[in-house]
Amino acid sequence: MAKASIAHERGDARAALSQLDALPSEAVASYQPYRVLRAHCLLAAGDRIDAQAAAEAALRLTDDPAIKDYLAAAFAGFGQPE
């Protein structure tokens, strides 16, 4: 995930998504930070529908109310066209 995060920070959403896709699905299926990063990468790549789905998955995996509120605000508008 670190390489994916770096690629995303450098503005290369497609490379970040490739890094995330290379991770074993069973290892990240319920890993909330993976879902958060994936949502941001998908949005940066222009895939609003999948970004919204990843954001919703991240929120479902978040137990802490403060973190959930923060993420909900960060994800607001993911499914809305600009």
Per-position pLDDT tens, the chain of length 82 = 999 999 999 999 999 999 999 999 999 999 999 999 999 999 999 999 999 999 999 999 999 999 999 999 999 977 665 5
Question: Coil, strand, or helix at residue 79?
Answer: coil
pLDDT given at position 78: 79
Burial of 45 (0-12, 13-18, 19+ CB in 10 A): middle
What are phi and psi for residue 66, nearest 5 degrees? -65, -45
pLDDT given at position 2: 95
What are phi and psi for residue 65, nearest 5 degrees? -60, -40
